[in-house]
Amino acid sequence: MTCPRDLLDAARRQLESAYGLALEGLSEQQIATAVAAGTSGEASRDTSDPRVLARIVDRLPIDESWLFRDDALWSWLVREAGPALVERALAAGRPVRVLSLGCSAGQEPFSAAIAFQAVLEGMAIPPSSGAAYVSILGVDSSPARIEVARAGVVNAWSVQRARPDWLRGKVKLEDRQTGRHRVEPSVLAMCRFEVGNLVPMAEAGNAAFGGYDLVFCRNVLIYFRPAEAERIAAQVGSALDAGATLVLSAAEAHLLGASRRVEPLGHLGAGRAVREVPGAGPFPGPSRRRRAGRKGRRWPDARAATGALPAAPTRRDAVEAHLRDAIEHAAAGRSMEALREARAALFHDPRQLFPRLLVGRHLIPFDVERAREVLRELVDAASRLPPEAEVPHADGLSVGQLATAARLLLRGPGGE
């Protein structure tokens, strides 16, 4: 497929102006093929038209990605960074918020979801509850790739490049002839996807990046000219809330220091923002700029809580207070009130087992299917712990006894 020189040159100028893409590393023929395909047939050839540019971006070969790309990163996330991020978010009473820039067809967000499910399982939280604990937003400039990501479909090549033990059975072959695979619903539920352009997002600063605990920007800046890549990296790093983690690829690790407020962490390419965003308070609401975005664009607002987090004793006290009230309501036959207080205890610490038993028990009269789901998840979580271990906030109750109680409720009236 041929492409006139004037059309090719115009498209390159527009791609760099609109997306920052100098397309370093791509051959002239690769770019020409994408431009020709994006402007073929009855399609407009006006490269200043955003719709035309989007079609060209859809066809550019800049989407090389696969599940669990870079084993060392995911090992570090599961063993070190992930548990710390979950603990920090739990202390703030909210989910971990993750942003994946240049997410292609969803390979990185899906990998992060599966990895965080492994982290949550280590805390006795079942994978089916993952969406309540971790929220992942994938952003890519290609509308076509975003549609594929939203469908939860990945190609065979993306799966074959990943280590099987990392996949953990969460990606299943759906069509042997085409090699199409599909991610498990619990994984897809943790992810959402939007079309977005890194250049205006970086200009929007904290309005675009504030509120996220973890931001992936891997193998994205390699397509920018060096000076532009450094500028974008500086803008992104400076826009993060204090304590947020930024992850670049190993090839881009030298850009971590561009903002002068990101310190290296224990993985090459990873760093943490170390100072507060100027003018931000300990628990800021959406700033005026965040509400407006750039030229009226409303960027996804992660609604972060930054600064000092509640101390652990405060959380334990809250759990104990709500559990005490739940038990009192249950003894008096007030199931709705007992259910409300048990849920409040779980809000303060979703890892707790005893409140789950109370929720399952008192939910049966109102929503038996959801009650069964809660009790099954409780049995599953208990099976991963020593039966003789004591259950926190439940004097004298062991994990084995708690699991037995949950099984009895599943077999009883309204149960299974």
Domain range for 174: 71-292
Classify residue 306: in a domain, yes or no: no
26 contacts: CB under 8 Å, gap ≥ 6: 60, 61, 62, 223
**Same domain, residue pair 230 and 363:** no
pTM for the structure as a whole: 0.64
Report DSSP letters for 54-74, one per residue. HHHHHHSS-----TT-SHHHH
Q: Looking at residue 346, what is its pLDDT? A: 74
**Same domain, residue pair 320 and 386:** yes
CA 20 to the chain's CA centroid: 25
pLDDT tier at 316, thresholds 50, 70, 90: low
In degrees and rounded to multiples of 5, residue 246 shows phi and psi of: -115, 130
**Same domain, residue pair 248 and 317:** no
Q: Does residue 64 have a pLDDT over 70?
A: no
Q: Does residue 280 have a pLDDT over 70?
A: no
**Same domain, residue pair 167 and 226:** yes
Q: Are strands 171-175 and 153-154 parallel, antiparallel or unpaired?
A: unpaired
Q: By the 8 A CB rule, do 56 and 38 touch?
A: yes
Classify residue 297: in a domain, yes or no: no
Over the Cα atoms of the chain, what is R_g? 24
The per-residue pLDDT for range 169-213, each reduced to its tens digit, is 999 999 888 889 999 999 999 999 999 999 999 999 999 999 999
**Same domain, residue pair 150 and 271:** yes
| Closest to 23 in 3D by CA, of 247, 237, 222 | 222
What mean pLDDT do residues 240-246 have?
A: 95
Q: What is the CATH number of the domain that holds 362?
A: 1.25.40
Return the exposure string of 243-266: e unless at least 16 CB atoms fall within 10 Å of the residue's CB, then b.
Answer: bbbbbbbeebbebbbbbebbeebe
**Same domain, residue pair 48 and 80:** no
